[in-house]
C-alpha cells in the first residue's frame, strides 16, 4: 500500500474536525504534515472522484468531507487511493519449471492463492467495519484537545 493511503486517512480525520461549511486547501492539508502539496492533491482528488470529499475551486475553495465521517469506511479510502483490485494476484507459477503441472484443466486450486484470498477478505472486512469517525473518536479520547488544535491551525495557518 502506498503512503497516499495514510495521507488520505489523516486528511479525512482532520477534515472531520473542520466545520462542514469550511473547505481546507490542499496546500494547508499538506503543510499540516509537511507533505508535498502536488502529491497530496492527487490523493485528495481521488477521494473527491469517489465522493469521499468534495472539491470547491477558487480562492475560498478547497476540500471538505462529502458525507458524515460515520459513513466513510477505511476501506472506502483504501479503494479510492489504491483501486479495487485484490492485493495478491496468483499467476499460477506452479504450472512453470521442471516439476510443472502443465495441465490447464487441473481443477485443484492453488492453496497459496486460497490462503491469500482468505487473508485479503479478512483485511477488507476489518477495514470496511471501521470508519473515519471511529478513528476520530479514538483520537479525541486519547488527546481531547486535538480537534481544537487542528481547527485553530487550519484557521490561522498562512500557507
pLDDT in tens, 83-129: 999 889 998 888 888 877 666 666 678 899 999 999 999 999 999 99
Closest CA to 23 of 52, 59, 70: 59
Give strand pairing partners of 53.
65
pLDDT in tens, 25-81: 999 999 999 999 999 999 999 999 999 999 999 888 999 999 999 999 999 999 999
Name residue, grid cell 500500500: 1
Other Cβ atoms closer than 10 A to 113:
15
pLDDT of 24 higher than 80: yes
pLDDT of the residue at 60:
81
Other Cβ atoms closer than 10 A to 101:
11
pLDDT of 1 higher than 70: yes
Rounded Cα distance between 91 and 75, Å, is: 25
Torsions phi, psi for 61 (to 5 deg) = -85, -170
Rounded Cα distance between 86 and 88, Å, is: 6
CB 34 within 8 A of CB 70: no
Amino acid at each position: 500500500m502506498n503512503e497516499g493511503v495514510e495521507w488520505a486517512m489523516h486528511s479525512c480525520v482532520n477534515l472531520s474536525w473542520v466545520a462542514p461549511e469550511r473547505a481546507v486547501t490542499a496546500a494547508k492539508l499538506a503543510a499540516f504534515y509537511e507533505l508535498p502539496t502536488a502529491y497530496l492533491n492527487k490523493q485528495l482528488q481521488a477521494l473527491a472522484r469517489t465522493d469521499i470529499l468534495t472539491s470547491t475551486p477558487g480562492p475560498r475553495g478547497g476540500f471538505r468531507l462529502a458525507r458524515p465521517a460515520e459513513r466513510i469506511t477505511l476501506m472506502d479510502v483504501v479503494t479510492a487511493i489504491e483501486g479495487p483490485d485484490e492485493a495478491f494476484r496468483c499467476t499460477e507459477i506452479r504450472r512453470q519449471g521442471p516439476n510443472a503441472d502443465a495441465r490447464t484443466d487441473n481443477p485443484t486450486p492453488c492453496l497459496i492463492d486460497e490462503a491469500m484470498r482468505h487473508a485479503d477478505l479478512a483485511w477488507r472486512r476489518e477495514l470496511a467495519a471501521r470508519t473515519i469517525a471511529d478513528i476520530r473518536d479514538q483520537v479525541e479520547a486519547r488527546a481531547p484537545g486535538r480537534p481544537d488544535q487542528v481547527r485553530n491551525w487550519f484557521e490561522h495557518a498562512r500557507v
